[in-house]
């Protein structure tokens, strides 16, 4: 580029010759040069702005196009995924204490129809009715020919049924994947597991929600994808549960009972190892709640945690244990159990109008004397008795972790007067569930600590607050053992296992008031075993049992609940790994297994 | 010198472009493989779930009890009872193995010359 000089010599000389100021030439040139520079700078800035604007335009177009693309395409899983963060879309399994499956998922399909895409509606309806005998041909045809654009035909179909529908070749019949909850053991532990059903349903997936039992109680946990498929481990033992159910079912049938329940609980951890309520149901095909009749007669009713009953004489041991704990008596103290005894004008009678006279505290329990227990309770006083039962959890629903347990609110009188004190001491006038009783006996068996019954697997002892001194708990355990060796529960004397327990026979109250039935009882046997170092509590309750081998039906717990409980312990104690205390008599039966 | 620089730069750009192209295709291939593998893992998981459910179903206590009843003649299985417990000292030790014969002396055929065992 040729630069024009600011003071061209020719023009300076010429100006000087004319007498003009040569500086004017220089200024003029400087001005011209500045103008040129300005023009250049402006055009350059303009072009830069243009380029920048173009860049922005391109960027906006790219971003806009990308946004539109992302918005309009189907969502897709990221293809490059780091392994490790496990996300399980499935509902978690439920397993027993040894990891055996109690509830799992099963992949199946749902069948739906889009009638506007169907070719042969009549044929399809007819053939579907052939494949699924429970569907009605006319109804299907009505649905297919009506104005509906979407029809659920069947919620769950098997692979064979799916293939059969597929073979129809009807384009309007479509399948959606479904997760189905499966309880492979059928009726086993039905009341604990509860059941599941579908919540919100879509074509490609459906929500599985729990409707009862642990399925409902732990619904959030089971559905949480963050658990990574970790199963819910219960404290139940599948084998023991199966054995207990079998024995109880047999006992219920033999004794003509209309219902039965049993609870086996670890006294140190509070784990419920088996809980049975009969009659039961199949959670795979959970029946609908009954709309008429007594809800307590429905198979859905869980007698172990919902059945609030007067459990009778099984409560006597609490009065005796508290009296020993307070130092009022020792097991050898002589108590006046003679009649007649009237409290507030109400006569306190004995079983079969017996009169025991004076006897020791241990004998009061062994022979199950109402008057003797009542007199001890009067010594203790109503307030202390109520506080003790409250500490044992007898006045609130159990903390057992299934939704039904909250419905087991015990019934007890608002005014805890002298009469109530006496009747409650022998288990009348207070209604609790068998689960409450199990927790109470566990406190006696483990040396005086309250343990709350739990359905979840625990790792060690879960002692709650102390409710009894070790001395009183030990004395109570010994008394329970004496009931079996020389008292009302003599049928529970077994050569192999030593157990202690207390029977209870309570007349059933008539519904809607009006006193008690003469011929309907709730027979209960609450036992602890092994007797010398109790580890387990077993409660067996039979609803309206009658033992008919004699001249007239026998209904007392000693004839009904005790033999069932003894049979059950004979079956489940070996499964619990307890060695029999008496050596087997036939060593010849042992065969050499090595070589 | 400058021309050489330009040429080298151009060559480097071409080389990098070629490398990026190849890497891109390799990544795509790896992603495809990953997807296939993940689908296989998913199918295996589903199958495993199915098999576990089937295992639980076939091992349900009701069925095992029925099978034990049906095959009682052959197996003789009964519920575990207290009288089936034994003590370790009731189990006899296995009979001691006979001492090994290291240097046998022939006594039966002694004196019968000419006859030897094969």
Half-sphere exposure of B74 (CA within 13 A, CB side): 4
Express each pLDDT in A431-459 by its tens digit: 999 999 999 999 999 999 999 999 999 98
Total domains, chain B: 1
Q: Name A295's Cβ contacts closer than 8 Å, sequence gap at least 6.
A: A289, A301
Question: How far apart are alpha carbons A526 and A476 in whole angstroms?
Answer: 13
Q: Is the peptide bond before B68 cis (omega within 30 degrees of 0)?
A: no
Question: How far apart are alpha carbons A108 and A176 in whole angstroms?
Answer: 9
Bridge pairing between strands A516-529 and A346-347: unpaired
Stretches in chain A below the pLDDT threshold 50 = 84-85, 583-586
Measured between beta carbons, the chain A residues lying within 8 angstroms of B46 are 107
Q: Residue B14 falls within a domain, yes or no?
A: yes
- Per-residue H/E/C for A470-514: HHHHHHHHHHHHHHHHHCCCHHHCCCCCCCEEEEEEEEEECCCCC
Residue A162 Cα to chain centre, angstroms: 34
Q: Is the peptide bond before A340 cis (omega within 30 degrees of 0)?
A: yes
Here the tokens at position A528 are 């602890």
Burial of A210 (0-12, 13-18, 19+ CB in 10 A): buried
Q: Residue B60 falls within a domain, yes or no?
A: yes
Short-list A214, A213, A217, A235, CA closest to A455: A235
Contact (CB<8Å) B94/A579: no
Interface membership of A580 toward B (CB under 8 Å): yes
Q: Domains in chain A and their CATH numbers?
A: 94-233 (3.90.1310.10), 240-281+297-575 (3.40.710.10)
Question: How far apart are alpha carbons A273 and A564 in whole angstroms?
Answer: 18
Q: Which of B31, B38, B57 lies closest to A184 in CB terms?
A: B57
Interface membership of A184 toward B (CB under 8 Å): yes
- The pLDDT of residue A132 is 87
- Residue that has been written with the tokens 């103008």 in this structure: A35
- The pLDDT of residue B117 is 45
Q: Residue B55 falls within a domain, yes or no?
A: yes
Number of Cβ atoms within 10 Å of the Cβ of A556: 21
Question: How far apart are alpha carbons A417 and A423 in whole angstroms?
Answer: 10
CA distance B54 to chain A (A): 8
For residue B28, the enclosing domain spans 2-74
Interface membership of A107 toward B (CB under 8 Å): yes
Mean pLDDT along residues B103-118: 60
Contact (CB<8Å) B56/A184: yes
Express each pLDDT in B9-21 by its tens digit: 999 999 999 999 9
Here the tokens at position A255 are 């004794």
Q: Over chain B, what is the mean pLDDT? A: 85
Decide: helix, strand or coil at residue A32.
helix
- The pLDDT of residue B116 is 47
Q: Which of B80, B82, B92 lies closest to A592 in CB terms?
A: B92
Express each pLDDT in B48-88 by its tens digit: 888 988 999 999 999 999 999 999 999 888 888 888 887 77
Contact (CB<8Å) B83/A105: no
- The pLDDT of residue A584 is 45
Burial of A174 (0-12, 13-18, 19+ CB in 10 A): middle
B115: pLDDT strictly greater than 50? no
Q: Residue B117 falls within a domain, yes or no?
A: no
Binned at pLDDT 50, 70 and 90, residue B111 comes out as: low
Express each pLDDT in A546-577 by its tens digit: 888 888 888 888 889 999 999 999 999 999 98
- The pLDDT of residue A531 is 86
- Residue ranges of alpha helices (H) inside A173-315 are 190-193, 213-217, 219-223, 238-254
Q: Which of B49, B50, B56 lies closest to A100 in CB terms?
A: B56
Question: How far apart are alpha carbons A263 and A457 in whole angstroms?
Answer: 16
Contact (CB<8Å) B85/A580: yes
Q: Are A572 and A241 in contact (CB under 8 A)?
A: no
Angle in degrees, 0-180, between the axes of helices B61-70 and A238-254, rounded to the nearest 10 = 70
Burial of A468 (0-12, 13-18, 19+ CB in 10 A): buried
Measured between beta carbons, the chain B residues lying within 8 angstroms of A106 are 49-50, 53
Q: Residue B82 falls within a domain, yes or no?
A: no
Contact (CB<8Å) A243/B90: no
Q: Which of A106, A188, A573 lies closest to B53 in CB terms?
A: A106
Q: Residue B56 falls within a domain, yes or no?
A: yes
Q: Residue B17 falls within a domain, yes or no?
A: yes
Q: Could you list the beta-strand ranges (E) of A44-172.
A: 94-95, 101-113, 151-157
Short-list A243, A244, A217, CA closest to A232: A217
Helix, strand, coil shares of chain B, percent, nearest 5, are 65, 0, 35
- Per-residue H/E/C for A374-403: HHHHHHHCHHHHHHHHHHCCCCCCCCCCCH
Contact (CB<8Å) A80/B34: yes
Decide: helix, strand or coil at residue A331.
coil
Express each pLDDT in A163-190 by its tens digit: 998 888 888 888 888 888 889 998 999 9
Here the tokens at position A492 are 């529970």
Measured between beta carbons, the chain B residues lying within 8 angstroms of A572 are none
Q: Residue B108 falls within a domain, yes or no?
A: no
- The pLDDT of residue B110 is 59
CA distance A278 to chain B (A): 16
Number of Cβ atoms within 10 Å of the Cβ of A582: 12
- The pLDDT of residue A275 is 94
């Amino acid at each position: 580029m040729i630069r024009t000089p600011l003071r061209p010599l020719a023009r300076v000389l010429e100006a000087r010759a004319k007498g003009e100021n040569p500086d004017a030439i220089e200024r003029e040139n400087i001005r011209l040069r500045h103008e040129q520079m300005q023009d250049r700078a402006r055009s350059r800035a303009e072009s830069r702005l243009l380029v920048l604007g173009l860049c922005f335009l391109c960027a906006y177009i790219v971003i806009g196009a990308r946004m539109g693309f992302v918005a309009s395409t189907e969502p897709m899983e990221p293809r490059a995924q780091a392994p490790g963060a496990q996300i399980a879309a499935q509902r978690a399994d439920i397993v027993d204490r040894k990891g055996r499956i109690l509830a799992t998922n099963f992949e199946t399909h749902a069948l739906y129809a889009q009638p506007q895409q169907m070719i042969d509606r009549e044929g399809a309806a007819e053939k579907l009715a052939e494949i699924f005998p429970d569907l009605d041909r006319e109804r299907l045809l009505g649905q297919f020919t009506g104005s509906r654009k979407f029809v659920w035909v069947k919620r769950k179909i098997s692979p064979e049924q799916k293939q059969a529908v597929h073979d129809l070749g009807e384009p309007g019949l479509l399948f959606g994947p479904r997760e189905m909850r499966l309880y492979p053991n059928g009726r086993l532990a039905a009341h604990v597991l509860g059941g599941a059903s579908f919540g919100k349903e879509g074509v490609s997936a459906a929500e599985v929600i729990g409707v009862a039992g642990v399925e409902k109680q732990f619904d959030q946990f089971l559905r949480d994808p963050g658990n990574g498929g970790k199963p819910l481990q219960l404290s139940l033992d599948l084998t023991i549960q199966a054995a207990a159910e079998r024995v109880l079912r047999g006992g219920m049938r033999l004794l003509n009972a209309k219902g039965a329940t049993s609870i086996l609980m670890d006294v140190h951890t509070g784990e419920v190892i088996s809980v049975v309520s009969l009659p039961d149901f199949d959670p795979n095909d959970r029946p609908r709640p009954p709309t008429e009749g007594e809800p307590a007669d429905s198979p859905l009713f869980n007698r172990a945690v919902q059945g609030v009953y007067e459990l009778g004489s099984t409560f006597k041991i609490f009065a005796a244990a508290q009296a020993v704990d307070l130092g009022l008596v020792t097991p050898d103290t002589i108590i006046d159990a003679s009649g007649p005894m009237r409290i507030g004008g109400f006569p306190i009678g004995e079983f079969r109008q017996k009169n025991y006279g004076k006897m020791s505290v241990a004998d009061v329990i062994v022979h199950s004397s109402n008057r003797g227990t009542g007199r001890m309770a009067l010594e203790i006083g109503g307030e202390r008795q109520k506080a003790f039962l409250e500490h044992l959890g007898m006045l609130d629903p159990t903390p057992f972790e299934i939704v039904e347990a909250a419905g087991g609110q015990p019934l007890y009188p608002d005014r805890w007067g002298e009469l109530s004190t006496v009747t409650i001491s022998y288990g009348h006038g207070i209604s609790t569930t068998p689960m409450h009783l199990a927790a109470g006996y566990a406190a006696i068996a483990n040396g005086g600590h309250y343990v709350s019954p739990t359905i979840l697997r625990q790792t060690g002892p879960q002692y709650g607050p102390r409710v009894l001194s070790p001395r009183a708990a030990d004395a109570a355990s010994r008394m329970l053992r004496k009931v079996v060796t020389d008292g009302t529960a003599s049928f529970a004397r077994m050569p192999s296992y030593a157990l202690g327990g207390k029977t209870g026979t309570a007349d059933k109250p008539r519904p809607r008031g009006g006193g008690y039935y003469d011929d309907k009882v709730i027979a209960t046997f609450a036992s602890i075993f092994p007797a010398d170092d109790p580890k387990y509590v077993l409660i067996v309750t039979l609803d309206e049992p009658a033992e008919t081998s004699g001249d007239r039906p026998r209904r007392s717990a000693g004839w009904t609940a005790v033999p069932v409980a003894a049979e059950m312990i004979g079956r489940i104690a070996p499964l619990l790994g307890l060695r029999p205390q008496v050596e087997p008599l036939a060593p010849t039966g042992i065969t050499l297994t090595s070589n | 010198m400058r021309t050489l620089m330009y040429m080298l730069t151009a060559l480097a750009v071409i080389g990098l472009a070629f490398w990026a192209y190849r890497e891109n295709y390799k990544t795509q291939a790896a992603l495809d493989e990953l997807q296939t593998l993940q689908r296989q893992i998913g199918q295996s998981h589903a199958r495993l779930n199915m098999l576990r459910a089937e295992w639980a179903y076939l091992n349900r206590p009701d069925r095992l009890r029925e099978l034990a009843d049906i095959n009682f003649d052959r197996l003789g299985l009964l519920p575990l009872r207290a009288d089936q417990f034994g003590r370790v000292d009731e189990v006899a030790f296995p009979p001691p193995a006979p001492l090994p014969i290291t240097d046998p002396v022939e006594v039966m055929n002694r004196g019968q010359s000419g006859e030897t065992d094969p």
